[in-house]
Amino acid sequence: MRSAPADKCFLFVEARACRPSPATEKSGHPRCLCGLNEHGDVLSRAMNSVHCTTERPGGYRHRIDIRAHELHADVLADEGGEDSAPGAHDYFDASLAACKALTATWYAKKNGFPLERVECLVERDDREERSGRYKLLVRLAFHGSLTEEQRSRIYAAVARCPVSKLMTASEVLIETAPLEPG
């Protein structure tokens, strides 16, 4: 365990000073998002943290803090929620859409392709989810004066986007443990 002054925390790997994010300060959650608590004790080796908390006792709506960003999650009205925000599956699907679009943009910039914008639509078929099959159909449109070769190369790049590989080819280990109330 590392120790740090109470007003600072240190990233576990890079050992550089950081401050709690505005979202963390606003929520009153006492920990920085770097993996150390206010006393400098290592909470996890993960460099990124997502903090999710119920907004109202007994309600489904949750606030999600990621770095300086605040998101919300809810369930559909017919499931007892208010449908006031995307649900967990929506965020899962959205992470794939965002990664595909961002990868296309990154690849085009890296190669000097005249890509102006990207559209991505992800359609979910979760009818067989309980038996272990979750199907996502991804449709992409690349706008700009691209040649067919450039489009083809961008499609090849987005097929290997990091989130797609994470969802389909990585071993994901999830450990669930108690979180001391903050």
The structure's pTM equals 0.73
Residues contacting 122, CB < 8 A, separation 6+: 93, 94, 96, 97, 136, 137, 138, 139
Note whether residue 20 is domain-resident: yes
Give the separation between CA 114 and CA 97, rounded to whole angstroms: 21
Whether residues 50 and 117 fall in one domain: no
Q: How many domains does the chain have?
A: 2
Question: Is 36:49 a contact under the CB 8 Å cutoff?
Answer: no
Whether residues 93 and 65 fall in one domain: no
Note whether residue 176 is domain-resident: no
Question: Is 18:11 a contact under the CB 8 Å cutoff?
Answer: yes
- The boundaries of the domain holding residue 39 are 9-79
Give the separation between CA 63 and CA 72, rounded to whole angstroms: 5
Closest by Cα among 25, 27, 31 to 12: 31
Whether residues 23 and 55 fall in one domain: yes
Note whether residue 174 is domain-resident: no
Instruction: Return the SS3 of 142.
Output: strand
Report the 10 Å Cβ neighbour count for 114.
11
Query: pLDDT tens digits, the chain, 182 residues: what are they?
Result: 333 333 333 322 222 234 444 444 444 444 444 444 555 554 555 578 999 999 999 999 999 999 999 999 999 999 999 999 999 999 999 999 999 999 999 999 999 999 999 999 999 999 999 999 999 999 999 999 999 999 999 999 999 999 999 999 999 999 999 988 76
Question: Is 23:70 a contact under the CB 8 Å cutoff?
Answer: yes
Query: CATH code at 163?
Result: 3.30.300.20
Whether residues 13 and 74 fall in one domain: yes
Whether residues 59 and 114 fall in one domain: no
